[in-house]
C-alpha cells in the first residue's frame, strides 16, 4: 500500500492493538510472538538516534511494543550500531538498517517515529529536522541545550503539526499521576512549596588527554551543531554531560524529571525570580558543571520550587536518592524514584502509602523502568492516532526544562534573575539573554524552523 493508506491503516489497527501492547509484553507471549497477532504486522516504524546506552534501551522498548518496530538505528559510533542490532534480535524478527548520519534515516518515507537519544546538544536540532521531515518525535529530556531551543521546538510543532513527546516518562506512571491528583484535589491543603532532589556518588573524570579520534567514531558529526573542540579521552560516552559545550549538568540530566513533577503539582508555568549556588566541589578535574547545586524558583508571592543536586554525595534525602516533596497547609506528599507516593499529615505522620511492586533501578544509566516507560510510548501512539492527548507535549516539556535551564543561567551569571512570568524571559539583564539564553552554533548547523 502507499504511504498515506498505510498511515490510515495504522490508525485503525492501533486501536485494536493498544489493549494488547499496554505495558509491554503480555504474560505467556515473547516479544517476537506479537508478530503472529492479527493486525499487529502493520506497525509504526521507528528510527532511533544515539543507541550507545539510553537509546539502545529505548530501541528495545519500542521493539517490544505491539504497535511499533524499529527499522533504523543511527549512531556516530559504529560499535554502538552493531551492539544495538544484536540486542534487537531478542525483541523483533524484522531486520534493522544502521546509519552513521541520522539525516539519511530522515530521508526515508518509511519512518513514522524518530527517537532522539543523542547527547543534549543534539536534542532540539535533531528534533527540528525530524519535524521538518514529517516525523513524529520521541525526544529524551531535556528538550533543548538552552531556552531558545525550547522555543524553537514549540514553533516547530505549531508549524509542522507533528507529535513531539518529551521523555519525562513519570508523566505516564499511574501512581505518580494519582499522587499529583491528590495534590491537585487538596488532600494536603493549599500547597505552597515543592522540594526536589537527586544524589549520587559519581567518580572523578580526571584530566583528559588530547588524542587522535578513534577509528570507530565520527567525532565531527558527534559534535554537529556544537562549536568545535578537540577530542579528548575522558569525554565519551557519558562524561559529555559535565561539559557546557555539549551537556547541561546534573540539573537537566536528572533534575528535569523531578522539577517537572513539582511544576505539574503546583500548577505553575514560568517563575518570577530564580537564584542558584553551587560548583565543582568534590574533585579538581575536567568536570565543568556543578556537582553540588541548589536552585530556587519563586512563582509570585506564594509558591516556590527548589532543586538540590549532589552528584558526588549519595546520602539520601527523605529516605530516597531522588524525589519531590510537596508541602501544604494540611500535610505533605512525597514521590520518589518509583511509581509510588507517600502521604503525611501536618505533624509528619505517614497516613497513606501507594506502592508499585515492579522493579525500578534509579541508578541505571540506560533503562531504570522499562515497563513503566512503555506507558509513555503507548500515550504517544494514542496521540498519533488522535485518540488521546500527549502526557508531555513539547509546550509543557519546554516549560519544565526552562526552569532548570534558568537555574544554570543564574549560577553562571552569578546573580539572581528576575523573570517575566508571561514567557520565562530574563528581565533587566541583556548580557544573560544575549549570551546564555541561546548559544553559538557550528557554521551550517544553526537550527531553523
CATH at 88: 3.40.50.720
Q: Is 249 contained in some domain?
A: yes
Q: Is 250 contained in some domain?
A: yes
* Residue 358: per-residue pLDDT: 64
User: How far is Cα of residue 324 from the mean position of the Cα atoms in its chain?
Assistant: 17
pLDDT > 70? residue 311: yes
pLDDT tens digits along 224-251: 999 999 999 999 999 999 999 999 999 9
Q: Is 440 contained in some domain?
A: no
pLDDT tens digits along 85-104: 999 999 999 999 999 999 99
**Pair (298, 182) in one structural domain:** yes
Q: Is 447 contained in some domain?
A: no
* Average pLDDT of the segment spanning 206-217: 97
* Residue 360: per-residue pLDDT: 58
**Pair (47, 195) in one structural domain:** no
Q: Is 104 contained in some domain?
A: yes
Q: Is 441 contained in some domain?
A: no
Q: How confident is the model at residue 2 (pLDDT cuts 50, 70, 90)?
A: low
- pLDDT mean across residues, the chain: 90
* Average pLDDT of the segment spanning 350-356: 94
**Pair (321, 428) in one structural domain:** yes
* Residue 131: per-residue pLDDT: 98
**Pair (135, 154) in one structural domain:** yes
**Pair (96, 189) in one structural domain:** no
**Pair (148, 250) in one structural domain:** no
**Pair (85, 193) in one structural domain:** no
Structural domain of 353: 175-361+395-435
414 to each of 41, 277, 278, 362, 432, how far by Cα in Å? 56, 8, 10, 31, 10
**Pair (204, 133) in one structural domain:** no
Question: Domain count of the chain?
Answer: 2
**Pair (156, 261) in one structural domain:** no
pLDDT > 80? residue 30: no
* Average pLDDT of the segment spanning 392-419: 98
**Pair (143, 212) in one structural domain:** no
* Residue 422: per-residue pLDDT: 97
Q: Quick one: what percent of the chain has pLDDT higher than 90? A: 86
* Residue 129: per-residue pLDDT: 98
Q: What is the CATH number of the domain that holds 306?
A: 3.30.360.10
Q: Is 50 contained in some domain?
A: yes
**Pair (158, 203) in one structural domain:** no
* Residue 42: per-residue pLDDT: 77
Q: Is 368 contained in some domain?
A: no
pLDDT > 50? residue 365: no
* Residue 15: per-residue pLDDT: 42
- CA–CA gap between residue 61 and residue 65 (Å, rounded): 7
* Average pLDDT of the segment spanning 411-424: 97
* Residue 18: per-residue pLDDT: 39
Give a three-class secondary structure readout of the chain.
CCHHHHHHHHHHHHHHHHHHHCCCCCCCCCCHHHHHCCCCCCCEEEEEECCCCHHHHHHHHHHHCCCEEEEEEECCEHHHHHHHHHHHCCCCCCCCEEECCHHHHHCCCCCCEEEECCCHHHHHHHHHHHHHCCCEEEECCCCCCCHHHHHHHHHHHHHHCCCEEECCHHHHCHHHHHHHHHHHCCCCCCEEEEEEEEECECCCCCCCCECCCCCCECHHHHHCCCCCCCCECCCCCCHHHHCCCCCCHHHHHCHHHHHHHHHHHHCCCCCCEEEEEEECCCCCCCCCCCCEEEEEEEECCCEEEEEEEECECCCCECCECEEEEEEECCEEEEEECCCCEEEEECCCCEEEEECCCCCCCCCCCCCCCHHHHHHHHHHHHHHHCCCCCCCCEHHHHHHHHHHHHHHHHHHHHCCCEEECCCCCCEECCHHHHHHCCCCCCCCCCCCCC
**Pair (114, 198) in one structural domain:** no
Amino acid at each position: 500500500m502507499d504511504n498515506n493508506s498505510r498511515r490510515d491503516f495504522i490508525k485503525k489497527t492501533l486501536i485494536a492493538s493498544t489493549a494488547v501492547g499496554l505495558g509491554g509484553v503480555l504474560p505467556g507471549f515473547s516479544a517476537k510472538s506479537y508478530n503472529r497477532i492479527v493486525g499487529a504486522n502493520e506497525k509504526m516504524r521507528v528510527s532511533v538516534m544515539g543507541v550507545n546506552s539510553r537509546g539502545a534501551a529505548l530501541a528495545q522498548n519500542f521493539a517490544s511494543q505491539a504497535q511499533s518496530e524499529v527499522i533504523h538505528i543511527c549512531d556516530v559510533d559504529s560499535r554502538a550500531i552493531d551492539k544495538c542490532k544484536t540486542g534487537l534480535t531478542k525483541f523483533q524478527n524484522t531486520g534493522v538498517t544502521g546509519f552513521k548520519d541520522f539525516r539519511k534515516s530522515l530521508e526515508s518515507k518509511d519512518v513514522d517515529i524518530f527517537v532522539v537519544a543523542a547527547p543534549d546538544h543534539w536534542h532540539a536540532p535533531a528534533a527540528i529536522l525530524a519535524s521538518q521531515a514529517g516525523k513524529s518525535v520521541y525526544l529524551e529530556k531535556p528538550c533543548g541545550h538552552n531556552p531558545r531551543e525550547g522555543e524553537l521546538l514549540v514553533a516547530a510543532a505549531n508549524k509542522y503539526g507533528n507529535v513531539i513527546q518529551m521523555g519525562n516518562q513519570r508523566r505516564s506512571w499511574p501512581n505518580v499521576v494519582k499522587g499529583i491528583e491528590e495534590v491537585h484535589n487538596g488532600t494536603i491543603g493549599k500547597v505552597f512549596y515543592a522540594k526536589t532532589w537527586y544524589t549520587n556518588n559519581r567518580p572523578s573524570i580526571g584530566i583528559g588527554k588530547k588524542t587522535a579520534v578513534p577509528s570507530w567514531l565520527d567525532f565531527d558529526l558527534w559534535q554537529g551543531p556544537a562549536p568545535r573542540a578537540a577530542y579528548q579521552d575522558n569525554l565519551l560516552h557519558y562524561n559529555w554531560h559535565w561539559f557546557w559545550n555539549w551537556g547541561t549538568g546534573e540539573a537537566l540530566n536528572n533534575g528535569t524529571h523531578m522539577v517537572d513533577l513539582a511544576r505539574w503539582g503546583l500548577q505553575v508555568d514560568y517563575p518570577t525570580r530564580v537564584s542558584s549556588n553551587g560548583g565543582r566541589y568534590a574533585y579538581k578535574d575536567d568536570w565543568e558543571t556543578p556537582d553540588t547545586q541548589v536552585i530556587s524558583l519563586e512563582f509570585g508571592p506564594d509558591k516556590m520550587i527548589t532543586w538540590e543536586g549532589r552528584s558526588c554525595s549519595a546520602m539520601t534525602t527523605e529516605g530516597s536518592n531522588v524525589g519531590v516533596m510537596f508541602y501544604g497547609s494540611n500535610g505533605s506528599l512525597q514521590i520518589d524514584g518509583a511509581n509510588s507516593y507517600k502521604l503525611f499529615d501536618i505533624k509528619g505522620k505517614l497516613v497513606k502509602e501507594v506502592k508499585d511492586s515492579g522493579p525500578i533501578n534509579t541508578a541505571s544509566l540506560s533503562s531504570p523502568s522499562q515497563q513503566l516507560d512503555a506507558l509513555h510510548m503507548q500515550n504517544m501512539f494514542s496521540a498519533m492516532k488522535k485518540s488521546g492527548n500527549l502526557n508531555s507535549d513539547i509546550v509543557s516539556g519546554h516549560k519544565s526544562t526552562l526552569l532548570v535551564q534558568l537555574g544554570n543561567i543564574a549560577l553562571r551569571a552569578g546573580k539572581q534573575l528576575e523573570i517575566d512570568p508571561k514567557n520565562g524571559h530574563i528581565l533587566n539583564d541583556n548580557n544573560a539573554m544575549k549570551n546564555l539564553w541561546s548559544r553559538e552554533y557550528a557554521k551550517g548547523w544553526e537550527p531553523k524552523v
